[in-house]
Amino acid sequence: MLILLSPAKTLDFESPSKVKTSTNPEFIKDSVEIAELLKQQTPTSLRNVMGISESLAELNHARFQDWMAPHPKEGSKQAIFAFQGDVYQGLQAEKLTAKQLDVAQEQLRILSGLYGILRPFDRILPYRLEMGTPLPNSHGKDLYAFWRDRVTESVAKQMQANGSRFLLNLASNEYFRCVNAKALPAPVVAPAFKELKNGKYKIISFFAKKARGTMAAWVIRNRVKTTTKLTQFAEDGYTYHPDLSTEKVPVFVRG
């Protein structure tokens, strides 16, 4: 199985990584093109293009000015340990064993507006760039145009290498839009996580994001390979709800 996750806006480049092993992003040469476009932006134009505050625009302007490839070890960090935020609170990569982290390196991929797609041990530099950013480039008007073919081909190749029976999509809609599902060698399964509120099951963003990370870690720990096994997920109070589920969208509820 191959698992897809979204990245996170919150980063941690201060804490030491659990492991020393690191790899280089598959599309680092393509990332250079995007980084160069961003280096040409002023803080004001970054603020407008990215829809962020003045302080965040200043921060990311400085980050892009300092961005270089290949990445120096000082100041860079493996993606699985650098990303924080709701999904990664659920993933808890620091609690995975060395063997489980090796499984993650083979089975987990993180989609990225700057890097396209990342393996857990791929070193990254601090950045912020949403996949939905309307940044004109050599392939079109936005990052979807730039990354879609590259990312889809990478995902398809890894699925074939893993003998994946399905792609476990735990990424957000914004990020999964850069993947052409019709070009993949196996179906896409995208679980939904719902909370009971006022007598109805609803998706609540914060909890759903954390649950995606929790499921990713559970799949890695238990070497899950089938959709039947996937429905046995029962972490953090969630249970599979067959009546709300479809083959491609298994629903897990709690409350």
Q: List pLDDT tens digits, range 197-233.
A: 999 999 999 999 999 999 999 999 999 999 999 999 9
- Which pLDDT score, from 0 to 100, does residue 171 have? 98
CA–CA gap between residue 255 and residue 235 (Å, rounded): 13
CA distances for 228 relative to 78, 84, 224, 225, angstroms: 32, 30, 9, 9
Give 10-residue mean pLDDT values along the chain (255 residues). Answer: 97 94 97 97 95 96 96 96 97 97 98 98 97 95 97 98 96 97 98 96 97 98 96 98 97 96
> pLDDT > 90: what percent of the chain?
100
- Which pLDDT score, from 0 to 100, does residue 18 have? 87
- Which pLDDT score, from 0 to 100, does residue 65 have? 96
In which element (H, E) is residue 240 found?
strand 239-240
Strand order across the beta sheet in which 239-240 lies: 200-202, 192-197, 251-254, 239-240
- Which pLDDT score, from 0 to 100, does residue 245 have? 98
Asked if residue 85 lies in contact with residue 10, where contact means CB atoms within 8 angstroms, the answer is yes
